[in-house]
Structure 1
């Protein structure tokens, strides 16, 4: 039992996935993973990144930051400064990314607050329902008042 590895840690042999649907799903997941990793690197280190990949159906996909021109110019001429237009476009793109990160962080905070509020309200609702059920049970099992006696 101690020698058993979890499924997530096992090596998968490199082989073509024969099932078309599984191959497309795997491609999509890997593409999303690459984009997500690239986005994290951009957020942490403010890098220039370019990714070009081709799907199993030969459809091209790309991801560039800050711009296609800035990444290609930097790749072709790593020791030269970017042109003024590329520099301004890259700066504008970086500013937009920073603004979106701030908005996303604000959204995450409000989303978590709403979730906490919903959990809190749900617990109050459950407590009230339980108390109401206890009161109803208590009322039905308690002795009834004596009938009205006119004498």
Structure 2
């Protein structure tokens, strides 16, 4: 069975949330360790659980890595920070627009929010749905053909087995028939015959 895509949102069930936290935390710590060993990188990872419990990993010392990070941040130019922040905000805005467009398209494909659509937009949606429907039907036909071929192969195997069983049955019947004829000949041989000369006894 294909595993479904996990929705990135807060897990409402507290038990499931705790189990997921435990599994993902172990995976994250493992990845941090692998990164530090494989790439000879200085890695420090700090995780607080929902209950406030601390989990950490560091390739050398979490304190020294944190201090190194603070010094690096202080040495960065303010203009560099502003450029990065502005670039990040622009990317977020672009992605947000793409998500909104995809959500709107999805609603229209489901038949919702069509009141504001123009005739051209409706025709585009119709063409896209027809194209998708053709693809689905082609896939369905392909699966049917594969299933038919599979059933034909199974039918050949069954007919072959049936012919073998019939042949064995006919051989067995022939053996029984020969055995019965042989038994009848033996009985005929065992019949005694007597020859009398002269007048029969009175």
Counting helix residues as a fraction of each chain, which structure ranks higher?
A: 2
Structure with greater contact order relative to length (CA < 8 Å, sep ≥ 6): 1
**Structure-1-length-normalised TM-score:** 0.43
